[in-house]
Amino acid sequence: MELMVLLNALVTRLLFVLHSLIGVWRVTAVKKEPKYWLLALLNLLLCLETGLTLKFKQGRGYKWFSPAIFLYLICTVPSLWLLEIHHGTQYCGNEPGAVQVNVSNQDFNQSKDSSHGSEGMDHHIIQTAKVFVNQLSTICETVWTLALHQTFLLLLVVGRWLLPIGVEITRDQLSQLLLMFVGTAADILEFASETLDIEDVRKNYALINAILAVWTWSMLQFPLDLAVQHIGCKPTASTRRIPSLLLCRYSAELWNIGVSLFIQDGPFFIVRSILMGHFRIFNQMLVFFTAKNILVVTLQLYRLAVITLDFRATILQKSRKGEVSCCPCEPYEASTHATTDQDNEMKEFVAFPPKEESQVPSQN
Report pLDDT digits (tens) over 184-221: 999 999 999 999 988 889 888 999 999 999 999 999 99
Find, among 326, 332, 334, 321, the residue nearest to 242 by Cα. 326
The 10s digit of each residue's pLDDT in 319-337 is 777 654 444 454 434 344 4
Task: State the DSSP H helix or E strand holding residue 353, giving kind and residue range, or none if neither.
Answer: none
Predicted confidence (pLDDT) at residue 357 exceeds the cutoff of 80: no
In sequence order, the β-bridge partners of residue 65 are 224
Question: Which one-letter amino acid corresponds to residue 336?
Answer: T
Is pLDDT larger for residue 123 or for residue 270? 270
Indicate the pLDDT class of residue 262, thresholds 50, 70 and 90.
very high
Higher pLDDT pick, 224 / 99: 224
Considering only residues 240 and 28, tell me which one the structure prediction assigns the higher pLDDT. Answer: 28
Which run of H or of E encompasses 238? none
Sign, CA dihedral 200-205-210-211, equals positive
Q: Is the pLDDT of residue 363 over 60?
A: no
With bands split at pLDDT 50, 70 and 90, how would you rate the model's confidence at 287?
very high
pLDDT greater at residue 193 or residue 87? 193
155 vs 171: CA distance, rounded Å: 19
Residue 14 has pLDDT above 60, yes or no: yes
How does pLDDT run across 158-172, given as a tens digit for each residue? 999 998 876 667 888
Query: 73-83: per-residue pLDDT in tens?
Result: 999 999 999 99
Please give the full DSSP string across 203-215, using - where no structure is assigned: T-HHHHHHHHHHH
Q: Which of 127, 171, 149, 12 lies closest to 81, judged by CA?
A: 149
* pLDDT tens digits, one per residue of 94-121: 434 433 444 445 454 554 554 454 455 6
Average pLDDT score, the chain: 78
- Indicate whether 3 pLDDT > 70: yes
Q: What is the pLDDT of residue 362?
A: 45
pLDDT at site 340: 47
pTM over 0.85: no
What b-and-e string marks burial along 298-335, b requiring 16 or more CB atoms within 10 Å of the CB? eebeeebeebeeebeebbeeeeeeeeebbbbbebeebe
Please report, for the chain, the start and end positions of each structural domain, with discontinuous segments joined by +: 1-90+141-169+176-198, 230-323
